[in-house]
């Protein structure tokens, strides 16, 4: 009886597994070696609208510049370079809009999340605790300058702790605080 081409299913399975794993290994290596693609430019934002507890507060670049400023350094996943950004903490802006951190608002902050939206409609969500210094050592800022010059997208949300800049919001236009009960 002639040997069937299907006589050894173990060899077929091993060969198939090796063939299928090659493209994945190639893609994995390529993704770690190359920087993320550059984000297309967005319309610059010149003001920031904060919605909290039924109230709307509007900040322009000048009023944001009057708040205490923080300088952070973050690795830009697009350029693979360390960049320096300066601006107020998100929580300082939220405090001016009425969400003042303290013992009385501790539980409120833990039950809240903030939706940050850019001029292009891109949005991200942060938990209240991720932003508040009483709960984290991170400094999430609303960047007004990059390397000492105005941010090209006007106002930008920056989180130096994120490994990828996926939650950086270029052209930051609004922050909306939502509290769950």
Residue 96 lies in a domain: yes
Residue 17 lies in a domain: no
Residue 3 lies in a domain: no
- CATH code of the domain containing 67: 3.90.420.10
Look at residue 106 and tell me whether its pLDDT is greater than 90: no
Residue 25 lies in a domain: no
SS3 6: coil
Residue 156 lies in a domain: yes
CA atoms 142, 147, 150, 153: torsion sign: negative
* Boundaries of domain holding 165: 47-179
Alpha helix segments (H runs only) across 34-146: 61-65, 90-96, 106-110, 128-131
- Per-residue pLDDT of 54-95, as tens digits, reads 999 999 999 999 999 999 999 877 778 899 999 999 999 999
Number of domains composing the chain: 1
pLDDT of 29: 41
Taking the C-alpha atoms of residue 141 and residue 164, their distance in angstroms, rounded to an integer, is: 16
Residue 62 lies in a domain: yes
Residue 16 lies in a domain: no
Taking the C-alpha atoms of residue 71 and residue 64, their distance in angstroms, rounded to an integer, is: 14
Confidence of residue 39 (pLDDT cuts 50, 70, 90): low
Residue 114 φ then ψ, to 5°: -120, 125
pLDDT of 128: 92
Residue 6 lies in a domain: no
């Amino acid at each position: 009886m002639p040997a069937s081409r299907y006589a050894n299913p173990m060899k077929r399975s091993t060969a198939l597994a090796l063939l299928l794993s090659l493209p994945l290994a190639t893609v994995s290596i390529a993704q770690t070696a190359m920087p993320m693609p550059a984000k297309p430019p967005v319309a610059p934002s010149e003001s920031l609208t904060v919605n909290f507890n039924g109230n709307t507060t509007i900040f322009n670049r000048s009023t944001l510049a009057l708040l205490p400023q923080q300088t952070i350094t973050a690795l830009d996943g697009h350029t693979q370079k360390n960049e320096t950004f300066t601006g107020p903490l998100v929580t300082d802006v939220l405090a001016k809009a009425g969400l003042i951190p303290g013992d009385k608002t501790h539980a409120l902050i833990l039950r809240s999340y903030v939706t940050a939206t850019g001029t292009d409609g891109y949005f991200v969500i942060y938990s209240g605790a991720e932003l508040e210094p009483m709960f984290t050592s991170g400094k999430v800022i609303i960047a007004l300058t990059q390397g000492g010059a105005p941010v090209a997208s006007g106002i930008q949300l920056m989180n130096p702790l994120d490994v990828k800049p996926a939650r950086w919001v270029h052209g930051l236009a609004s922050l909306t605080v939502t509290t769950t009960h």
